Each structure stands twice: as structure tokens, then as C-alpha cells.
Amino acid sequence: MKNNQQKRFLPKIKIKKGDKVKVLSGDYKGKIGVVLEVMPAENKALVEGVRIVSRHTKPNAKNTQGGIIKQEAPIHISNLMLVVGNTPTRVGRREENGKIVRYSKKTQEVIK
């Protein structure tokens, strides 16, 4: 394979859309939000209310006037930790009844 055609192996991301997560580092440290989207190719996720940026947009069909729009920007997965109940926890994977499930390493309970 040529350099630009190498296969890219993606690590297993243990955070999924709809999960409640806590930000571990950066400007938003300690904030808790819900994951809106996960981008495995970039190892990033969009979290509701975290890393809000201003986008300057031109007028278009959706927004006829244009202007400045506030929206979430992606944050790196390594800066997020899953929250189960009210406590942040690490995530493990194990097989139960022939299916692989996620579980809380702190409480040993199955997540969703």
C-alpha cells in the first residue's frame, strides 16, 4: 500500500451518543453534558453545552440574514469520562449472554 492509502485502525471508543459525560481537563473542566455526536475517525465528540464557539455565517436559504451563530465544537475523547448515576466512572467491556456489553468499573453494573 502507498503512504496515502494505508489502512487506519480506529481505537474502540467507549463513549456513545446520548451518554452523560464529564469534562476532565481544559477550559470546561468539571462540566457535565450529553454527547450529541461521536466522531471516531478524529477521536472527538460533540458535547451539549461544552466548548461553545461563534461561527460567522453568510446568508443562505436556512438563515436568510446570516450573522454570528453559537454552536458546540468537538472535544477530544480523552478529555471525557462517562457518568453513571452521579459518579464518573471508567468503562469496561465484557461478554454477557453472547453479547458484548459496556459496564461501569466502579459499580460493576451494565450501562444501558
For residues 8-17, give the mean pLDDT: 82
pLDDT for position 112: 79
- Judge if pTM exceeds 0.75: yes
- Confidence grade of residue 12 (pLDDT, cut at 50, 70, 90): confident
How far apart, in whole angstroms, are the C-alpha atoms of residue 58 and residue 90?
A: 42
Kindly tell me the sign of the dihedral angle through the C-alpha atoms of 14, 83, 26, 70.
positive
Q: Write 17-22 long-range contacts (CB < 8 A, 24+).
A: 19/82, 19/83, 20/82, 20/83, 21/45, 21/47, 21/80, 21/81, 21/82, 21/83, 22/80, 22/81, 22/83, 22/88
Mean pLDDT value across residues 52-80: 94
- The pLDDT score that the predictor gives to residue 7 is 62
Supply the mean pLDDT for the chain: 91
